Amino acid sequence: MFNLTKRTNQSKIHTLLLQLGAIVAALVAAGIVMWAMGYNPFVIYTKIVEGSVMVSENAKKGGVPYRLLQTINKAIPLVILSLGVSVAYKMKFWNIGAEGQFYIGALFAAYVAFNFKQLPPYILLPFMFLSAFIGGGLWGFIPAVLKNRFNASESLTTLMMNYIAIGIVTYLQLGPWRDPEAKGFGRMPYFTENAILPKVFGIHIGFIIALILAVIIFVLLKKTKLGYEIAVIGENETTAKYAGINTAKVLFITLFISGGICGIAGMIQASGIEKTLTDQISGGLGFTAIITAWLAKLSAPIILVVSFLFAMLLQGGAYLQVSMQIPAAISEVIQGIILFFVLGSEFFIQYKIVFSSKIKEAK
């Protein structure tokens, strides 16, 4: 016999210990799974780290080592997407439409890249950047309106809009925007050189944008009036109305910003990595970002860390495939298991189990 009660006071240390414990437990559990499948978990974990951040002996040609570069490249869109969704989640708006906002952002950017080729890069790139923000923003704005006007569940509408966005990109890729020179392939033309993000230290400057965005989001949420309003609505909508906050207006602005940032991630991925737009460009990053944002408790600095760790898992998984012929999918299995444990650990932060020894039972 036990009783459940809600914890009234959660100490930070208690929370942190539980979360760390959950991750350790998850790594152990994933290790057991690997062991059961006939792999040595220690070797796999070592290889993941090695494959994602270690400097390989012979690939040091100045700039950032190749594997670390790959990890950073994977972390960039993840960071930006996580920042984007965190803004919406701060007001408890369950935007799972990052994927769609990403694609529409990339789409708007691609439109500019294809149609204003003559512009110099220092004008074209900001123009693409801005269009991506507006495109993603609109894609986030629509579900906000649907929620406000029709009370349509945002988690369902944003989910649907992901696939609408991808469908539109596929259509353009195979139809009107198809590269006539790419014969059999259904793909769009590559961006011209002036539409491609320049590199610093061998990494496209998306990483600088990601860092700047992290600072901006941190400031937005922590230091501005809007950020304060977002937090108040998220924590207690009744109090927000009591204080005279225009909740609908804040909802619209917030979702425009949230979607817009996800759109920027799309532009950066298209311009910095793919150098064109494809309907495969995200590969589900929009969904992973929901998880990283949630794991980071919507804190911009922690998002940087968590996204990097996730990127390590992704890159390490790819490395496992190449170096040991272990399917890269193993990193998804590990991700899943870690998530299960961390999700489960939340419970012990929120609730307290009182065992019957402490309850005086009926005599």
The residue (of 46 and 155) whose beta carbon lies closer to another protein is 155
| Interhelix angle 66-90/206-223, nearest 10 degrees | 30
If residue 246 lies in a helix (H) or strand (E), which one and from where to where? none
User: Site for another protein (CB under 8 A): which residue of 20, 55, 351, 353?
Assistant: 351
Least Cα distance to 255 among 99, 142, 118, 126 occurs for 142
User: Site for another protein (CB under 8 A): which residue of 85, 110, 159, 203?
Assistant: 159
Footprint on residues 43-62 left by another protein (CB under 8 A): none
Contact 213, 261 (CB under 8 A): yes
User: Site for another protein (CB under 8 A): which residue of 71, 157, 254, 276?
Assistant: 157
User: Site for another protein (CB under 8 A): which residue of 96, 106, 113, 277?
Assistant: 96
> Where does this chain touch another protein (CB under 8 A) — which range of 79-87, 116-124, 263-271, 343-351?
343-351
Distance of CA 247 to the CA centre of its chain: 26
CB under 8 A, 24+ apart: contacts of 52-55 = 52/311, 52/312, 52/313, 52/315, 52/316, 52/319, 53/312
User: Site for another protein (CB under 8 A): which residue of 35, 163, 185, 201?
Assistant: 163
CB of 290 to another protein, least distance (A): 6
Q: Is 183 in the site for another protein (CB under 8 A)?
A: no
> What is the DSSP secondary structure assignment for residue 200, as one 8-state letter?
E
Q: What is the rounded distance in angstroms from the CA atom of residue 276 to the CA atom of residue 298?
A: 31
Residues 6+ apart with CB under 8 A from 70: 52, 315, 318
If residue 204 lies in a helix (H) or strand (E), which one and from where to where? strand 203-204
User: Site for another protein (CB under 8 A): which residue of 171, 211, 248, 322?
Assistant: 171
Footprint on residues 196-225 left by another protein (CB under 8 A): 223-225
User: Site for another protein (CB under 8 A): which residue of 9, 58, 115, 118?
Assistant: 9
Contact 138, 259 (CB under 8 A): yes
The residue (of 304 and 326) whose beta carbon lies closer to another protein is 326
User: According to the 3-state scheme, what is the secondary structure of 237-248?
Assistant: HHHHHHCCCCHH
Contact 257, 122 (CB under 8 A): no
Contact 123, 328 (CB under 8 A): no
CB of 109 to another protein, least distance (A): 20
The residue (of 57 and 361) whose beta carbon lies closer to another protein is 361
Rg, C-alpha atoms of the chain? 22
> What is the DSSP secondary structure assignment for residue 359, as one 8-state letter?
S
User: Site for another protein (CB under 8 A): which residue of 3, 40, 56, 280?
Assistant: 3
Q: Which phi-psi region, left, alpha or beta, contains residue 360 (left: φ > 0; alpha: ψ -120 to 50)? A: beta
CB of 242 to another protein, least distance (A): 5
Q: Is 355 in the site for another protein (CB under 8 A)?
A: no
Footprint on residues 303-332 left by another protein (CB under 8 A): 327-332
The residue (of 56 and 224) whose beta carbon lies closer to another protein is 224
Count of positions on this chain that bind another protein (CB under 8 A) = 77
Contact 317, 328 (CB under 8 A): yes
The residue (of 63 and 186) whose beta carbon lies closer to another protein is 186
Footprint on residues 271-290 left by another protein (CB under 8 A): 287-288, 290
Least Cα distance to 338 among 313, 320, 318, 317 occurs for 313
Footprint on residues 220-239 left by another protein (CB under 8 A): 223-228, 231-232, 235-236, 238-239
Q: Is 361 in the site for another protein (CB under 8 A)?
A: yes
State the binding string over 13-42 for another protein (x if CB under 8 A, else -).
Answer: ------------------------x-----
User: Site for another protein (CB under 8 A): which residue of 126, 198, 301, 336?
Assistant: 336
Q: Is 182 in the site for another protein (CB under 8 A)?
A: no
Q: Is 242 in the site for another protein (CB under 8 A)?
A: yes
* Residues found in the chain: 363
